[in-house]
Structure 1
């Protein structure tokens, strides 16, 4: 799925921008063993290691280890029992690599472009107003107006979401009438690289980003205390065009391509531009709810690219 904006024929034309919106909704399965064998009642369990992880510099070779009976998240400790407990908080987890001259861009130009890529990720996934369902205005302003129809299509996706044009493939938004975030921290982990385009991408500098964001939430009703988490992983590539060959705007980014995978997002929810986390209590209250047909996926596993994962709605192995 996606759009193709223009071509690579130079002569003042905008470079091609392929936007792949391959969002996959995954719901969390209820675990009866977890409900019976409460982790906090197991005195032999060691305390969780909360020491911060070193920054991710390359793709991991395997998923984080998974406990048989992980601790349950609470309002005071919403990341308890999750690998994200040791991840960085918010924007601190989006580390910009050391800049160097790449392609047509000088070291200084590359540094500025990397910072803009970080600003986009922060504005689209960490802005509290956006998480609460608001419009990602700051992120939209970073999109190059010379990218044909891109801004218009994104605006349209926010106003009238469809399966082919879903804003959650780029922006993390929850309905404030459905859930609210627990605390203010979103855990973040990933990496960013920059490279010179080759072949049909000659004349472009590509910034590739791969980040996972973890959001603890409770239901919006007063007094709600059951905490669940949605895990959003995004692979987004931005392109910057040589102004000698293409028309582009200084200080802006072309959205070259993107993919997203969401762990704990209801497959049955309406396409309304928001993520819809599932709670264990929902599954207990409605045991006849249809089960997802796809295989189980670990949303914390960053060892595979998103295009290697199943594309049908499946089950999250953990939240």
Structure 2
């Protein structure tokens, strides 16, 4: 240091000092600081510093009240408050609620549609039944089980007001669920009886079934032709029976009527609708006189008919009780394997009582009504038998 106390230019105290700014440089620095130019530091205002301190103090108080937070980056981070799942999560609950509203609207619309449909069907059930499989015909449910015992009551009515048509000729009839034709004639299990072997009893059962089919279901027989197949099942050695039947076919009358065994219609008056005849009944057997077995058949046949060229459907109902016998030729005057007619009875529903020309004569709904005659008769009632020769008024066909 010099004696006058002023540092020398070579003094170590000035080592590394930069050159002092000029008056122009200092003025420029002051101007940039005042205008906030880039590079100039800007100190926060007193109000900003106060707000920041209050927020920091609030965060620390909250963290202490919650018992602290988990470590996050070396610092304590306040834990988030627990919220139930989906609570105020925005789109999730809004979407779920929207779907619920749509379901409610959809279910409400379906409920109204069901109510309207039920009311329409209640007023006009045919709108539904005519479009069901089978056209609403209860036969679509399948045939009734086979009859295994005598019925104790008449069958229930069919749907009220349902008239038969060509497409559904059994509509409105109790027979709608009866078996079709020969399917309704079932034979019981055979066993030896009356000195006849099991196979001979089975032969008697099968021959009786063939007789019923040929006499009541064969299309040629129903058209009024000679029932040769049925006649050939009968024993020609049975005294007078075969001759009487053949004579009744050529010279029908009150005392010799082919309807005693055969179902026949005059084709000029009535013809079968389709090829189905409904059948219901049962067959049993028992021992006859030694060396024979007797077969008992009780069947009802329902025939749907129209006039030639017409569409109006009527039904005629025939119930037959027939007893046949198969005899041992070594003990009886009989032909082996041929049937004898022991008895034959019949009830007719919807046919003229006064005409005896060998044909059944149905009445159609459009025919002029004849005055009631005799007691009311339900031709479908298999629990009762009407006396032969009685002429009643059928309650339904």
Q: TM-score scaled by structure 2?
A: 0.64
Q: CA deviation at 1:41?
A: 9.8
From 293, 312, 315, the equivalent of 2:390 is 312
Matches within 5 A, 1:185-196: 185-196=276-287
8 A Cα contact 2:158 2:173, kept in partner: no
Q: Distance in 1 between matches of 2:285 and 2:173?
A: 30
From 49, 66, 81, the equivalent of 2:138 is 49
Aligned counterpart, 2:381:
301
Q: Distance in 2 between matches of 1:86 and 1:68?
A: 13
From 328, 333, 355, the equivalent of 1:242 is 328
Aligned counterpart, 1:22:
none
The Cα offsets for residues 130-182 of structure 1, whole Å up to 9 and x where unpaired, read as: 11111111000111011011111001100111112110121001001111110
From 314, 321, 336, the equivalent of 1:228 is 314
In structure 1, runs of 5+ residues without a counterpart are 1-39
Q: Distance in 2 between matches of 1:316 and 1:53?
A: 24
Q: In the superposition, relative to structure 1, how do residues 150 and 310 fare at CA in structure 2: closer, same or farther (>3 Å)? A: closer
> Higher helix fraction: Structure 1 or Structure 2?
2
Q: Distance in 1 between matches of 2:276 and 2:390?
A: 30
Aligned residue-pair number: 267
Aligned counterpart, 2:366:
281
Q: CA deviation at 1:66?
A: 2.0
Matches within 5 A, 1:207-226: 207-220=295-308, 222=309, 224-226=310-312
Aligned counterpart, 1:272:
357
Aligned counterpart, 1:150:
241
Q: Distance in 1 between matches of 2:137 and 2:364?
A: 23
Q: CA deviation at 1:70?
A: 4.2
From 155, 163, 166, the equivalent of 1:72 is 163
8 A Cα contact 1:267 1:292, kept in partner: no
Is structure 2 residue 294 aligned with structure 1 residue 206?
A: yes
8 A Cα contact 1:125 1:172, kept in partner: yes
Aligned counterpart, 1:182:
273
Matches within 5 A, 1:83-232: 83-197=174-288, 201-220=289-308, 222=309, 224-232=310-318
Secondary structure class of the residue paired with 1:194 = strand
Q: Distance in 1 between matches of 2:300 and 2:220?
A: 19
> Higher strand fraction: Structure 1 or Structure 2?
1
8 A Cα contact 2:165 2:312, kept in partner: yes
8 A Cα contact 2:347 2:388, kept in partner: no
Q: Distance in 2 between matches of 1:274 and 1:138?
A: 19
Q: Distance in 2 between matches of 1:312 and 1:281?
A: 25
Mean CA deviation greater in 48-57 or 141-150? 48-57
Q: TM-score scaled by structure 1?
A: 0.79
In structure 2, runs of 5+ residues without a counterpart are 1-120, 130-135
Q: Distance in 2 between matches of 1:318 and 1:41?
A: 25
Q: Which has the larger radius of gyration?
A: 2
8 A Cα contact 1:125 1:131, kept in partner: yes
Q: Distance in 2 between matches of 1:64 and 1:259?
A: 22
8 A Cα contact 1:205 1:241, kept in partner: yes
Q: Distance in 2 between matches of 1:251 and 1:63?
A: 37
